[in-house]
A and B are shown apart, each in its own frame.
Chain A
Amino acid sequence: QQPVQSPQAVILREGEDAVINCSSSKALYSVHWYRQKHGEAPVFLMILLKGGEQKGHEKISASFNEKKQQSSLYLTASQLSYSGTYFCGTEMWGAQKLVFGQGTRLTINP
């Protein structure tokens, strides 16, 4: 039931863009995105609830394609502070539990 994230790891230079994908084999009610720095708790970024919904502000945004059961996180003009591991969390219809993907490690170099 774990969603699948891709890629597993990304290395960028500061200012470059990145896309992280999350897909599920089950029909989804919502998709969450979190970022975790090493040894710290995950920090909430955003929730997407509706099919086709796109959220975010400025340089971090996300989309949710309900029909394809996929979500993508877009990081534009990346900053050093964006480094960390990004997790998508999914909730299925009728099941109020949050299940996370395996994570995508993002490294931003100067």
Chain B
Amino acid sequence: DGGITQSPKYLFRKEGQNVTLSCEQNLNHDAMYWYRQDPGQGLRLIYYSQIVNDFQKGDIAEGYSVSREKKESFPLTVTSAQKNPTAFYLCASSIIGTASTEAFFGQGTRLTVV
């Protein structure tokens, strides 16, 4: 079955440690996205990528980094520079074409920093 997989589902880290969230898709989609979700603030765009080896900052990129070495993978690293990293993180992917297409979401990773 085609889909988008995020792992792990729950992640706990100590303050000051970097942590990497995994996102893999087998839908052959070109575009991939990372969103952060906090209560009452909706989905805020962290980074997005339209092609391998290229990515752009979203609205809240500070304290995060990404890589896109393979089409199917778009890992997100939450660095120690992120002031308030505890949140629900969602990865999504979509086709790039002449018309807008739906985004498919992973099940999310809930990160708690203590």
Q: Which of A37-45, A65-73, A75-83 touches B? A: A37-45
Residues of chain A contacted by B43 (CB below 8 angstroms): 42, 87, 89, 100, 103
Complex Cα–Cα for A87 and B61 (A): 21
B100 interface neighbour in A8, A29, A87, Cβ under 8 Å:
A29
Interchain CB contact under 8 A, B40 and A97: no
CB of B44 closer than 8 Å to a CB of A: yes
Count CB-based A-B contacts (< 8 Å): 67
B: number of interface residues (CB 8 Å)? 28
Taking Cβ atoms with an 8 Å cutoff, the residues of A that contact B are 1-2, 5, 8, 29-30, 32, 34, 39-44, 47, 49, 87, 89, 91, 96-103
Taking Cβ atoms with an 8 Å cutoff, the residues of B that contact A are 31, 33, 35, 40-45, 48, 50, 56, 58-59, 90, 92, 94, 96, 99-108
A-B pairs, top 4 by smallest CB distance, nearest first, are A102-B42, A30-B100, A41-B105, A100-B43
